[in-house]
A = this chain, B = another copy of it.
């Protein structure tokens, strides 16, 4: 029997655990799920749950020691603890998180001990790498020349449950949504030129994207796309751009909060105990003895009388005289508090994941530019098995199976850009209904 140890019993682990449990009898697996708090996920004779504080080295070590494979679904800042124990007891580790310096620090030891550490193997990062690399490798193998690569992902509410003016609900950590874009300027290359977008312009530099059967989306730039030139082996590519998808109009309205300073997480507001939503907004506006807070905001932000932004802001209740009710909070925390009450995914709601890649390459045999788009939409099953939980959990779960069955024979620290990883994972994802549609437009005259 093989033991699979999973750190993290949060909502996004649901589908991962179910997949492993469904395969546990066939492969004789035992699944041990540990977290600081257990809320009850899947149940099966093959699964055991126990409470564990990942920072407690003794507890952690005693679990890792007995594992055949370790998966960490904890928030990214905890991975380093898990990784330390994995190195100590020579265990392979899988995560769905960015391969940060924290994790990179273990690379020498991982190599020395011949372990396999696989990071960025969830949705975004994860499925985006795999689906893009499959096409990139195919284009290269055909001898064509890739000129442009754009990639966008979004976690949204499914069309049938999309019933608010922002066309958005929280399907993952609300705090991350409020802080999105604040860790430095977006960086990318466009037609051979480096481009930088500061936070205060990020939500106005969007581009419109249509995904067949799912309608229009808008994309804003996501972090540092330059990082992926080397990771995808795209040295010299004229255009590379990664982004995040929302429904059209979201970014322009969200930008109001950015411009106000309401997404700032760097300081605590004064006298917040007595503050209402309306006063929160007013604290970012000039003083006037009689003008209303609404009017002052519309004027400061140049919002026309017929703008949909007015309806969006009113719907959130930001001008209400409701007490905030927090004892100590940054502007970002107050905003998160207000949004949580409005953007919560309801128990009967379903979420949706959309992913979209665009490639433009020079077909060297025909000497023509070809545009290839690849898109995916996944609708959640229910509030337990969301599209988010499925698209984060299945790539990891499948990778776990491949590793345990000896079907991935790599040693070292990887993200799933290697064919030996993405090919079998994408194949099995297809069997689970996660299928990309491709569209080819020959003789394209599009700039990208």
Contacts and interface: CB of A to CB of B under 8 A. Distances in A.
A225 to B, nearest CB: 12
Interface in A246-299: 258-261, 264, 266-267, 269-271, 279, 282-287, 289
B271 A194 contact: yes
A200 interface: yes
Contact of A267 (B185, B201, B283, B286): B185
Interface string A27-60: 0000000000000000000000000000000000
Nearest to A207: B286
A165 interface: no
B287 A198 contact: no
B286 A185 contact: no
Contacts of A195: 283-287
B190 A287 contact: yes
Given A287-B195, A447-B287, A261 B201 contact: yes
A393 interface: no
A205 B286 CA distance: 8
Contacts of A198: 259-261, 264, 284
B447 A289 contact: yes
Contact of A185 (B196, B197, B264, B289): B264
A185 B261 contact: yes
A261 B198 CA distance: 5
Given A198-B264, A201-B259, A264-B198, A193 B286 contact: no
A187 B331 CA distance: 13
A75 interface: no
Contacts of A191: 287, 289
A358 to B, nearest CB: 14
Given A267-B184, A447-B287, A447-B289, A261 B194 contact: no
Query: Which secondary structure dominates where chain A touches chain B?
Result: loop
Contact of A283 (B194, B271, B331): B194
Interface residues of A, number: 36
A367 B267 CA distance: 39
A378 interface: no
A143 B219 CA distance: 61
Contacts of A282: 193
A158 interface: no
Of the candidates A191, A196, A283, the one having the most CB atoms from chain B within 10 angstroms of its own CB is A196
A101 B75 CA distance: 33
B197 A279 contact: no
A227 to B, nearest CB: 12
A287 B284 CA distance: 33
A25 to B, nearest CB: 52
Interface string A349-379: 0000000000000000000000000000000
Contacts of A264: 185, 196, 198
Nearest to A224: B267
A83 interface: no
Contacts of A226: 270
Contacts of A286: 190, 195, 205
Q: 10 smallest A-B Cβ distances: which pairs?
A: A198-B261, A190-B287, A200-B200, A194-B270, A191-B287, A194-B283, A196-B283, A196-B261, A185-B261, A196-B284
Interface of A: 184-185, 187, 190-191, 193-198, 200-201, 205, 226, 258-261, 264, 266-267, 269-271, 279, 282-287, 289, 300, 331, 447
7 contacts: A185-B266, A190-B286, A191-B287, A194-B270, A198-B264, A200-B261, A205-B286
